[in-house]
Chain A
């Protein structure tokens, strides 16, 4: 009844995630000094940097923070609600501020 329902991930998996996080960090720093161009007014360098950051954050949340394996389903509800709230804040504020003073 006790203990055995707990998921114990392999140390190998943790080291693999660590390796991916380090690689992601180094790539982010290196790619920043290369001009990837601008598409429709959007700077590709920024997009790449944020995509890598989001992949890194997802690995940390899913594996290190155990969201992938937890038996507590409510964890996901809180996580999704919090991220959704954050996106509301950022996206709505930015659309407002970038269109309000236009023209």
Chain B
């Protein structure tokens, strides 16, 4: 049995599991498994995107006002940081394919730096939202306080409709508080879920970097790096959509 050609071949390549015909099949099976998981991730994030789109249609003026309170420059910069991290991931995979361990580890360390930078910048943004009382239920307030959304955008109140009518004005203000809170709830749920994925990604890449450092990846076998990369790029894509949907609802002059 052990001297059958297949068994001999397998003994020579310890990374090849016996139930796969060759490395290519093994690699494809692993990557397909990750794709299958990413399919479920699309469904998971899809639910939140769907809720977002429905409420955005219903509460558009309030969503636009709340969206303008997010820092556009910081958001753009963070998008750039994440794109850079995706580049370093593919360059790390490429270095593994070419058997260049030094470059591989360097690129993976850069990926970790970019990933952690993204999370750091996100934390900075969230702490600003806390200071502005824009976190739902935590002394939430968007009218007259530090994070005033109406000041300079009085048309949001529908001034012509509520002019001189105090009761109507209070009602409209309460409505703005409620509707913007829906935006921020979705904002924190979506960016929070994205951040959890980033934290998991950084953890995975920490292990991958260690494995790369130990020289476990060769041109023939670097599947863990490759499929971790697929996950990382997926998380990047989620952000590519989150950025325009959350930050850029309506930034037109005079809006």
Residues of A in contact with B (beta carbons under 8 Å apart): 1-3, 5-6, 8-9, 11, 14-15, 17-18, 21-22, 25-26, 28-29, 32-35, 43, 45-46, 49-50, 52-53, 56-57, 60-61, 63-66, 70-72, 74-75, 78-79, 81-83, 85-86, 89-90, 93-94, 97-98
> Are B46 and A60 in touch, CB under 8 angstroms?
no
Within 8 Å CB of B204, what residues of A? none
Partner of B80, one of A9, A25, A45, A75: A25
Residues of A close to B36: CB separation below 8 A: 78
B31 engages A75 (CB within 8 Å): yes
Chain A minimum-CB-distance residue to B23 = A2
Report B-chain residues with C-beta under 8 Å of the C-beta of A71. 24, 28
* Interface assignment of B57: CB less than 8 Å from any CB of chain A: yes
> Interface size on B (CB < 8 Å)?
59
Whether a CB of chain A sits under 8 angstroms from the CB of B240 is: yes
**Does any Cβ of A come within 8 Å of B91's Cβ?**
yes
Within the complex, the shortest CB–CB distance from B9 to chain A, in Å, comes to 8
Q: Is B152 an interface residue (CB 8 A)?
A: no
Q: Name A's interface SS.
A: helix
| Closest beta carbon of chain A to B220's beta carbon, Å | 5
Could you tell me if B83 and A25 are in contact, using CB atoms closer than 8 angstroms?
yes
The contact of B46 among A11, A14, A89, by CB within 8 Å, is A89
Q: A60-B240, A94-B53 are in contact. Are A45 and B253 (CB under 8 A)?
A: no
Contacts of A64 in B (CB 8 A): 86, 89-90, 229, 233
The answer to whether A97 and B43 have CB atoms under 8 Å apart is no
Q: Which of A22, A33, A65 has the most CB of B within 10 A?
A: A65
Contacts between chains A and B (CB distance < 8 A), count: 156
Q: What residues of chain B have their CB less than 8 Å away from a CB belonging to chain A?
A: 13, 16, 22-24, 27-28, 31-32, 35-36, 38-39, 42-43, 46-47, 49-50, 53-54, 57-58, 72, 75-76, 79-80, 83-84, 86-87, 89-91, 94, 97-98, 219-220, 226, 229-230, 233-234, 236-237, 240-241, 243-244, 247-254
Residue on B nearest A6 in the bound complex, by CB: B97
B245 to chain A, nearest CB (A): 8
Contacts of A28 in B (CB 8 A): 76, 243-244, 248
Please measure, in the bound complex, the distance between the C-alpha atom of A92 and the C-alpha atom of B84, giving whole angstroms.
35
**A33, B251: Cβ atoms closer than 8 Å:** yes
C-alpha gap A2/B42 in the complex (Å): 33
Contact of B91 among A5, A11, A43 (CB under 8 A): A11
A79 touches B83 (CB 8 A): no
B32 and A82: CB pair below 8 A?
no
